[in-house]
């Protein structure tokens, strides 16, 4: 592993994103503050381009390609927001993109990825080795592989959201960030440590997939089976080498919430704040509510990571089906 990225790299990423990524709003909720007794600042990445913070990391990584890399383009494997982030970034930067997606990926996600102009190659999740297939295609076409989280340019790109948040709010007492593979959490921690050194930083992951919590406790990366949870953006089996090294150094704790708590968070966002948030996007707020008794009057940053959810599924989750 090369040297770990630093906050200076987040600052450089922010300069590359300027004029391309949205500076997303920081929303407040008097109801949330009254009910849980803290002062919440919601950084709303559901309003980011393509509907999630993933645009930040993908665009930052692709905009660093040299001329030869640009000509051949980017390749990624993902059934979720990273696919759309790489596809859109490639289109904006005028380069080809190839995305490997499972045959049974939701039709809406396939259509969105193709809609951004990427070539989509389908594979069978049960019989084909996705990583081997990606490597073979990357070699054949000379394309550069952009992983969803374990890459310095990806994680420093993700860190720009918290840079914007704290620049707007001033120092915070605590920051809650959802956790899958740790790109968002590690980048956020770099920004928080630089801009608000006393701020506690917490990663929140689904109860069914607490590999991050286990890893922090064990001091090494723990691998688990793909967890069963409605938080499809956090169904990762393990943290990355770069992300774990930063999380271990800069994150105070990793905590978990249940799927029922995620639905409660989604419902609060819909009813009280009028925003559509995908299940994974509710992790951080669910974690903050759970800790509220320890945060009286505290200034608490909450990352709302994305809003890409099929409307029929969204309605069914909120209806308790």
Ligand X SMILES: *Cc1c(COP(=O)(O)O)cnc(C)c1O
Residue closer to ligand X (CB basis): 158 or 215: 158
Which of 45, 51, 54, 109 is flagged as catalytic? 54
Do residues 300 and 38 lie in contact, with contact meaning Cβ atoms separated by under 8 Å?
yes
Q: Least separation, in Å, of the C-beta of 215 and ligand X?
A: 13
Determine whether 43 is an active site residue.
Answer: no
Which one is catalytic: 45, 205, 259, 278?
A: 205
CA gap 152, 174 in Å, rounded: 24
Per CB under 6 A, residues contacting ligand X are 52, 54, 80-81, 148-149, 158, 178-185, 233-234, 236, 278, 280-281, 305-306
Catalytic residue status for 173: no
Closest residue to ligand X: CB criterion: 306
Q: What are phi and psi of 175, to 5 degrees?
A: -130, 130
Q: 33 Cβ partners below 8 Å, 6+ apart?
A: 39, 40
Residue closer to ligand X by CB (options 81, 196) is 81
Catalytic-labelled residue, pool 211, 232, 259, 291: 211
CA gap 242, 288 in Å, rounded: 26
Is 305 among the residues known to form the active site?
A: yes
How many degrees, rounded to 5, is the angle at CA 220 between CA 215 and CA 226?
50
- Residue 276 exposed, middle or buried by CB count within 10 Å (0-12, 13-18, 19+): middle
Respond yes or no: is residue 211 known to be catalytic.
Answer: yes
| 205 belongs to the catalytic site | yes
Residue whose CB is less far from ligand X, 32 or 304: 304
Q: How far is the CB of 181 from ligand X (least distance, A)?
A: 4
Beta bridge partners of 101: 122
CB-based contact 41:172 (threshold 8 Å):
yes
User: Considering 29, 79, 191, 196, which one is annotated as catalytic?
Assistant: 79
Q: b vs e for 177-202, b when ≥16 Cβ sit within 10 Å of the residue's Cβ?
A: bbbbbbbbbbbbbbbbbbbbeebbbb
Q: Which is nearer to ligand X, 97 or 234 (CB)?
A: 234
Nearer to ligand X, 209 or 298 (CB): 209
Of 209, 212, 306, 307, the catalytic one is 209
Q: Is 78 a catalytic residue?
A: no
Give min distance, CB of 217 to ligand X, in A: 18
What is the set of active-site residues?
54, 79, 205, 209, 211, 305
């Amino acid at each position: 592993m090369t040297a770990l990225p630093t906050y200076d790299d987040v600052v450089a990423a922010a300069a590359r994103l300027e004029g391309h990524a949205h500076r997303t709003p920081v929303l407040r909720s008097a109801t949330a503050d009254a009910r849980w007794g803290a002062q919440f600042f919601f950084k709303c990445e559901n309003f980011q381009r393509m509907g999630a913070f993933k645009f930040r990391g993908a665009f930052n990584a692709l905009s660093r390609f040299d001329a030869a890399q640009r000509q051949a383009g980017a390749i990624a494997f993902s059934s979720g927001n990273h696919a759309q982030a790489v596809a859109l970034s490639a289109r904006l930067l005028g380069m080809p993109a190839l995305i490997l997606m499972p045959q049974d990926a939701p039709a809406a996600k396939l259509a969105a990825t193709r809609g951004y102009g990427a070539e989509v190659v389908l594979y069978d999740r049960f019989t084909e080795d996705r990583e081997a297939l990606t490597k073979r295609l990357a070699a054949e076409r000379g394309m550069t592989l952009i992983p969803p989280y374990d890459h310095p340019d990806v994680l420093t790109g993700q860190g720009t959201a918290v840079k914007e948040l704290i620049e707007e709010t001033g120092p915070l007492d605590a920051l809650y960030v959802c956790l899958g593979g740790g790109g968002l959490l590690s980048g956020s921690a770099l920004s928080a440590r630089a801009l608000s050194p006393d701020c506690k930083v917490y990663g929140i992951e689904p109860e069914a997939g607490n590999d991050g919590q286990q890893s922090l406790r064990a001091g090494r990366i723990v691998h688990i089976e793909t967890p069963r949870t409605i938080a499809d953006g956090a169904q990762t089996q393990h943290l990355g080498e770069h992300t774990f090294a930063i999380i271990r150094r800069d994150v105070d704790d990793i905590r978990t919430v249940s799927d029922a708590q995620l639905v409660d968070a989604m419902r609060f966002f819909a009813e009280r704040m009028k925003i559509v948030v995908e299940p994974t996007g509710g992790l951080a707020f669910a974690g903050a509510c759970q800790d509220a008794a320890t945060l009286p009057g505290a200034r608490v940053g909450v990352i709302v990571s994305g809003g890409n959810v099929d409307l029929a599924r969204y309605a069914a989750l909120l209806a308790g089906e």
